A and B are shown apart, each in its own frame.
Chain A
């Protein structure tokens, strides 16, 4: 739709701002999916299949799914959510509960097994096939997302951020203290000790994944990314997507135009949370531990950083943002630059100043390119106020 306006040949007829920087035309955006998938899918052929890089690449893809989920809530619907870690936690715990010996007492210590590998067959606890775990995680997170969304419905802007922040912290605290929260003698979480080991992903018709060969994990994460991308694109140009954007732009007018605010917002929370849950379940298995220390406020900010860095509401931007930040967070800071300060005679490592680095990057970003790496065309308009040019161009 934008391409028609952007290529408008008449002088002064193209929307001001359309020429500035690069914005991917809408049609081409979707067409880029197969290109992206092929390039990313072939990457493992050049990487060491058990190495750190492979592991980081897999993490990056899982984080892309997380960021795409948060993008629906923050980017599309404009509901600033600072507690996205809650969905990571719920997804990961679903994996921990239904894919480890955590509930060791269940079924008199014999455990419950549904379509799992021969190896898990003899273990205590509940062991479900990953497909079921993923569905359960999506379901739990959708419900949790809506519950978290409910109290924010009467709020706007910054106040939503505060409430969601609180929810994220509540979930984090429950995770830490869950080992003392006993229901019929069974704790809810394993607290800081973590639930470990967690079942490896075991898909129908495929060999169970192992921790030495990372390629299947990587491709699995890529499959999740493809699902998340497909859903994001489908929703953006749909009735629901337009309703989200309308609510974000002007809630009063949106409601006057027949958009049911409550339902529409809850769907945004639910959908975004589902992505988080899906990725959370994957990460629970991939990390081989579901540990309360993983679910810190830091994580919410990291994911939000990916969305903002890439461009709020811009699907490809968010993908890029997630990849860039994961690279910085898991590779550049701990592996590449870590020893630089000490070489320069300082008494610290870069891992100790991660937050400072992020802060610095965000400030730079806000100055140079506030609309993100690959801006969504709408946001771009908003952040580069060229309405004066528009008036000049349109003066009769």
Chain B
């Protein structure tokens, strides 16, 4: 990845006037999660404007994934409120939240290994389908739907860059990069308004990471999808994020534009220790 690409991207991220006052697609207010005596996430407020790309960063164990799990309904917040498009989704089941328009991927790829790539993506459309038990038994009413769903699955797979000849491969046989892509396609298949990516570039080489960051822009620009990502790769973060939230020990210690966050002494302290942050200033 060349340096000028990075600076280029930052310029657009920082320089372009962006409508940040627009409607919030996701709004989490004062969210806290306690496991017994341990406070994993403490009083975090996090809002995501429509059509934006925002990141949550923080050292290992900072509570990023726990926070994601609360947003997507795996954990119920101990206190706090989560709204998706002004609708309270606090404590809703994950499948309900998915249906309302928030899809996610996982830190460690969780594809359905013995289903083909295509079938994986078809499962992603589950919440958009109507065919029930009887509809499926008496094929007639669902046949049309099945066809449409299959077609859309092919489209999504091609959209994320999985070659057609791999569409019928079982997911476990795909290459690592393709597995990541299929996972994103599966999440996209439900036409979400907001997509949560948990460390999407983990295990990718620099070129693949660069492709993925471009893809995130494409998602936002072409399909109007808001992207929230957890990431460790600072290059990726600084390239794509318009807004960064930093968590440490479950607390929000900083937020702002990439440049601001990068200069923030508390952030440096969280990542590199107290001494490092003092040396720098």
Which A residues form the contact surface with B (CB < 8 A)?
Answer: 1-2, 4-5, 8, 10, 13, 15-16, 230-231, 234-235, 237-243, 245-246, 249-250, 252-261, 267, 271, 378-379, 381-382, 387, 390, 394
Contact = CB atoms under 8 A, between A and B. Distances in A.
Contacts of A2: 116, 168
Contacts of B98: 256-258
A254 to B, nearest CB: 7
Nearest to A382: B114
B169 A261 contact: no
B172 interface: yes
B137 A235 contact: yes
Contact of A5 (B104, B116, B136): B116
Contacts of A258: 95, 98-99, 124, 126-128, 190
13 contacts: A5-B168, A16-B173, A231-B137, A234-B139, A239-B129, A249-B113, A252-B74, A257-B126, A257-B186, A258-B95, A258-B190, A378-B115, A394-B175
Contacts of B123: 242-243, 246, 254, 257, 259
Contact of B165 (A1, A10, A381): A10
Contact of B136 (A235, A254, A256): A235
Nearest to A235: B136
A249 B95 contact: no
A132 B157 CA distance: 48
A267 to B, nearest CB: 6
A242 B115 contact: yes
Contact of A238 (B93, B99, B146): B146
A379 B113 CA distance: 10
Q: Which of B110, B142, B146, B165 has the most chain A CB atoms inside 10 A of its CB?
A: B110
Given A5-B168, A390-B173, A271 B133 contact: yes
B168 A255 contact: no
Interface string B139-177: 100100110010000000000000001001110110100
B119 A242 contact: yes
Contacts of B186: 257
Nearest to A249: B112
Contacts of B126: 239, 242-243, 246, 257-259
B122 interface: yes
Contacts of A241: 136
A261 B115 contact: no
Contacts of A242: 115, 119, 122-123, 126
Nearest to A15: B173
Nearest to A258: B127
Interface of B: 72, 74, 93-95, 98-99, 103-104, 106, 110-116, 118-119, 122-124, 126-129, 131-133, 135-139, 142, 145-146, 149, 165, 168-170, 172-173, 175, 186-187, 190
A382 B94 CA distance: 28
Contacts of A239: 126, 129, 131-132, 136, 142, 145-146, 149
B138 to A, nearest CB: 8
A378 B148 CA distance: 24
A271 B111 CA distance: 26
Nearest to A242: B123
B169 A5 contact: yes
Contacts, number: 134
A234 B137 contact: yes
B136 to A, nearest CB: 4
A267 B132 CA distance: 10
A255 B94 contact: yes
A252 B110 contact: yes
Given A1-B116, A249-B115, A381-B172, A256 B104 contact: yes
Given A239-B142, A259-B126, A261-B95, A249 B133 contact: no
Contacts of A10: 165
A378 B170 CA distance: 8
A237 B123 CA distance: 11
Nearest to A237: B146
A8 B116 CA distance: 15
Contact of A253 (B110, B133, B139): B110
Contacts of A387: 172-173
A381 B123 CA distance: 20
Given A234-B139, A242-B123, A381-B170, A260 B95 contact: yes
A27 to B, nearest CB: 13
Contacts of B190: 257-258
Contacts of A271: 133
Nearest to A2: B168
Contact of B112 (A246, A260, A379): A246
A379 B98 CA distance: 29
A245 to B, nearest CB: 6
A381 B133 contact: no
Given A4-B168, A246-B126, A378-B115, 18 more contacts: A1-B116, A5-B116, A234-B136, A238-B131, A239-B145, A239-B146, A243-B126, A246-B123, A252-B110, A255-B95, A256-B103, A257-B124, A257-B190, A378-B170, A381-B172, A390-B172, A390-B173, A394-B175
A240 B118 contact: no
Contacts of A390: 172-173
A267 B133 contact: yes
Nearest to B178: A394
Contacts of B93: 255, 260
Contacts of A238: 131, 135-136, 142, 146
Contacts of B119: 1, 242, 245
A13 to B, nearest CB: 6
Nearest to B117: A5
Contacts of B131: 238-240
B266 to A, nearest CB: 33
Given A15-B173, A241-B136, A261-B95, A246 B110 contact: no
Given A1-B116, A245-B114, A240 B173 contact: no
B118 A1 contact: yes
